[in-house]
Amino acid sequence: MEKNNKTSISRRSFLKTAAAAGAALTVQPAINRIKAANVALNGENVSSVKKDGMPHRTLGTGRAAFEVSALGFGVMGMTYNRSRHPDKKQCIRLLHEAVERGVTLFDTAIIYGPLTNEQLAGEALAEFRGRINVTTKFGHEVIDGKATGRQDSRPATIRHYCEESLRRLRLDVLPMFYQHRADPSVPAEEVAQTIADLMKEGKVQHWGMCEVSAETIRRAHAVCPLTAIQSEYHLMHRLVEENGVLGVCRELGIGFVPYSPINRGFLGGGINEYTLFDPTNDNRQTLPRFQPEAIRANTRIVNVLQQFGRTRGMTSAQVALGWLLQKAPWIVPIPGTTKLSHLEENLRTLDFNLTPQEWLELETAVAAIPVVGERYNAEQQRQVGG
Ligand SMILES: NC(=O)c1ccc[n+]([C@@H]2O[C@H](COP(=O)([O-])OP(=O)(O)OC[C@H]3O[C@@H](n4cnc5c(N)ncnc54)[C@H](OP(=O)(O)O)[C@@H]3O)[C@@H](O)[C@H]2O)c1
């Protein structure tokens, strides 16, 4: 009996210890997530909080502040520009999986499809209104469901697009409305004033601009405080570090949302010079950086990310996303995917906590390799002011 008791006590204490160790193992990734989401270079203040196990960050400051999950979800590729798409049911299921995992920022635009992407986001996500945010964008002209290739940011058009987006997204108020591309005939101040009016009317909560200069940001922000700038930013395209855009965001307290954070899938390592992109529905086949010779040359960069990640248990996509996250606590990347495995992988980036020294080592190794091919073709480059 005594012996039995001893056995059971020691078994009990073993189970207790094992349970504690198990709990520690489960708690650790969550702690790492918070740490990793909070790490920032330049000694800036931490702005994220933990909610439902998912770290949050704040885009913008003061009345423009907008709290969102540290990683968002780019919906675009589910219907537009990224080759084969899963059917609608699968897309809706995946968007729900993202909500379940704590993602609260979903990014779409009127031009994606056109219209089909907003329709999908509305159908899949309207039931979560109040809990998550769908951000959308105006600016590219769309007439009768077709893109004209022109920009239209006249006040009356913004108002009209706002009503149509509200209807497609099944919302009473847009959590955030971005100007997708500047309209050369409408000054930034006039766009900002139109948004300020829509805010007063309760139609729009926050606003942002895409691919604009530091000067335009200042002018627009003076009229109506911006919550975020959304421009391309990743290890193969660091223009916003050089052209003053990140600097002005830091100075004025505006958030930054890097789009195409995995460089349209390239930094995920699954694309090679033989990859075929659907000519009817994938803009990568029109981009200089996605031509076979450029892909062949730029694969050296992916190799650096893979090598860096290998000893740390990270995939190259996680290295790409982690590098962006550690740049500042007011940066929220929006990777897109059509696969649950990639969603999981991307969100797990938040479990890693590397030192600034390690990130610098990666950055330096990548910067030593010249990037081959422009990011955009001539027409797209014209729209981003190049
Ligand atoms: N403001 C603008 O002008 C602008 C421009 C472009 C995009 N955006 C926004 O940014 C979002 C993301 O941009 P994006 O789709 O161009 O680029 P991205 O997020 O860098 O890459 C998406 C591509 O990467 C693949 N991928 C995702 N996770 C992966 C992983 N872990 N490993 C390997 N491959 C992975 C996806 O394929 P699978 O489906 O196979 O996972 C998809 O083809 C868009 O949805 C859109 O909301 C904005």
Instruction: Tell me the per-residue pLDDT of 184-235, one tens digit each, with 9 for 90 and over.
Output: 999 999 999 999 999 999 999 999 999 999 999 999 999 999 999 999 999 9
What atom in ligand 1 is closest to the CA of residue 345?
31
Question: Contact, 138 vs 165, CB < 8 A?
Answer: yes
| Cα 75 to Cα 337: distance, rounded to the nearest angstrom | 8
What are residue 372's DSSP bridge partners? Answer: none
Among candidate residues 33, 28, 86, the one with its CA nearest the CA of residue 341: 86
Give the mean pLDDT of the chain: 90
In sequence order, the 6+-apart residues with CB closer than 8 A to the CB of 110 are: 118, 136, 137, 138, 140, 142, 161, 164, 165, 180
For the question of residue 112 being annotated catalytic, the response is yes
- 77: CA distance to ligand 1 center in Å? 6
- Out of 105, 108, 262, give the residue to mutate to test ligand 1, the one with the largest number of ligand atoms within 8 Å of its CB: 262
Q: Is 287 in the pocket of ligand 1 (CB under 6 A)?
A: no
Residue 357: half-sphere exposure toward Cβ, Cα within 13 Å: 0
Cα angle value 116/122/128 (rounded, 5°): 155
Query: Residue 74 Cα, ligand 1 centroid: separation in angstroms?
Result: 6
pTM beyond 0.75, yes or no: yes
Q: Which of 112, 161, 233, 259 is catalytic?
A: 112
Ligand 1 nearest atom to the CA of residue 318, by list position: 31
Q: Which residues contact 73 (CB under 8 A, 6 or more apart)?
A: 95, 98, 103, 105, 106, 107, 334, 335, 336, 337, 343
Give the CA distances from residue 314 to residues 252, 323, 374, in Å, rounded to whole numbers and listed in that order.
34, 12, 28
Q: How far is the CA of 193 from the centre of ligand 1 (A)?
A: 32
- Tell me, what's the pLDDT at 34? 46
- pLDDT tier for residue 386 given thresholds of 50, 70 and 90: low
User: 174 pairs with which residues across the strands?
Assistant: 204
Provide the residue ranges of all domains of the chain, joining segments of one domain with +. 37-383
CA distance 66 to 63: 9
3-state secondary structure of 236: coil
Tell me: pLDDT of 379 over 60: yes
Contacts of 166 (CB under 8 A, 6+ apart): 172, 173, 174, 203
Residue 19, token pair as written in the block: 């349970």
Report whether residue 77 contacts ligand 1, using a CB cutoff of 6 Å: yes
- CATH class label, 37-383: alpha beta
Q: What is the pLDDT of residue 209?
A: 98
Report which of residues 375 and 22 the model is more confident about: 375
- Is residue 255 scored above 60 in pLDDT? yes
Q: Is 261 in the pocket of ligand 1 (CB under 6 A)?
A: yes
- At 138 the pLDDT is 98
